[in-house]
A = this chain, B = another copy of it.
Amino acid sequence: MPKLGMAPIRRQQLIAATIAVIAEQGFSNITVAHISRAAGVSAGIIHHYFGGKNELLEAAMRSILHDLRARTSERLAGKSDPRERLRAIIDANFAGSQFSAMAVRAWLAFWSQAPYVPALDRLQRVNAARLRSNLCHVLKQLLPETEARRAATALAVLIDGLSLRSALEGGVPDAETARTLVLSHAERLLT
């Protein structure tokens, strides 16, 4: 049932299906057939809209990253107190879809591929740099520069480590505990 202006809808549909399938089957086992079936469309349409499997995968990772970024901006908006801003950054990484079971699995999948796929690697690096820069910026208002930088690295590593652990343990991730762990570490760094 061909309609006009389906492009953005289908693209979004396919990206969502891709993330779901990656989370469910892992990166090495996904096929365009799986994805298209999950999206309720034919396999050929993926090439129509994305040009190929790799491009779809890249678009999916980009979408996840975009969501994270949007969530961070949103939570940061209107806050000026450094501690509040720190909390906002951490929360953005452990809330909503980001920390859902599906999202962490997809994260893990993309991480595992990034070293071998330049396009994914770029995205991963940009994202890592952004997280660290966000943390660093806030921490500089609370700590001396050298300290701030070290603390930013430590927090970023904790955040990634928790995502990883969550993906590996399965089930619904315990966002609350995760947040507490990072925040308590942050507090310790600030005193």
Contacts and interface: CB of A to CB of B under 8 A. Distances in A.
A125 B154 CA distance: 24
Nearest to A116: B26
Contact of A128 (B125, B150, B153, B168): B168
A154 B111 CA distance: 21
A28 interface: yes
A17 B39 CA distance: 36
Interface residues of A, number: 36
Contact of A170 (B112, B115, B161): B115
A26 B111 CA distance: 11
A136 to B, nearest CB: 15
A185 B167 CA distance: 24
Given A111-B108, A128-B168, A167-B115, A185 B27 contact: no
A181 interface: yes
B158 A154 contact: yes
Given A28-B27, A28-B28, A185-B185, A115 B157 contact: no
A47 to B, nearest CB: 12
B161 A112 contact: no
Contacts of A80: none
A115 B164 CA distance: 11
Given A109-B112, A111-B112, A112-B109, A161 B157 contact: yes
Given A114-B168, A157-B181, A161-B162, 11 more contacts: A26-B112, A26-B116, A27-B112, A105-B115, A108-B115, A111-B167, A115-B168, A154-B181, A157-B158, A157-B165, A160-B164
